[in-house]
Amino acid sequence: MSKRLGWFIAAGLLVAALLAGVVSSFASGSPDGLDYAAREGCTFNADDEITGGTCMAQQEAAHQLGDSPLADYGIRGIDNEYLSTGLSGILGVALTFALGGGLFWLVRRRDKVS
């Protein structure tokens, strides 16, 4: 790998880690478009519980991995919400980079030795 490519990959990894670790803390807590569409047609009380109507959200069930250490965009056991979210973002970037890099390494083109 050339020195320039190494710097490029390192810079990209740093930018991704900064975005995941810092900017993710400022993401909106409001429902996104899919959540909004799933809740359309139902009425909710002050505690955000469905009280009537008909909507897709009534079929919602607990996720099978809801008790995992990285559930809900955070790391279980870290009480500071911003730190938990930021660290889980950085961990996600590192895991994705490692997985992608490993796959590229496995399928890379190798020069044949004659």
What would the pLDDT profile of 6-16 be if each residue is shown by its tens digit? Answer: 899 999 999 99
Q: Is residue 113 part of a domain?
A: no
pLDDT at 78: 92
Percent with pLDDT over 90 in the chain: 50
Domain count, the chain: 1
- Residue 22 belongs to domain spanning: 3-107
Cα distance between residue 39 and residue 57, in whole Å:
5
In a domain, 112, yes or no: no
Q: What are phi and psi of 43, to 5 degrees?
A: -110, 150
Establish if 114 belongs to a structural domain: no
pLDDT of 71 > 60? The answer is: yes
Other beta carbons within 10 angstroms of residue 89's beta carbon come to 23
- Residue 105: what pLDDT? 87
Residue 31's CB is within 10 A of a number of other CB atoms, namely 13
- Residue 80 resides in a domain: yes
Is residue 63 situated within a structural domain?
Answer: yes
Instruction: Please tell me the pTM assigned to this model.
Output: 0.69
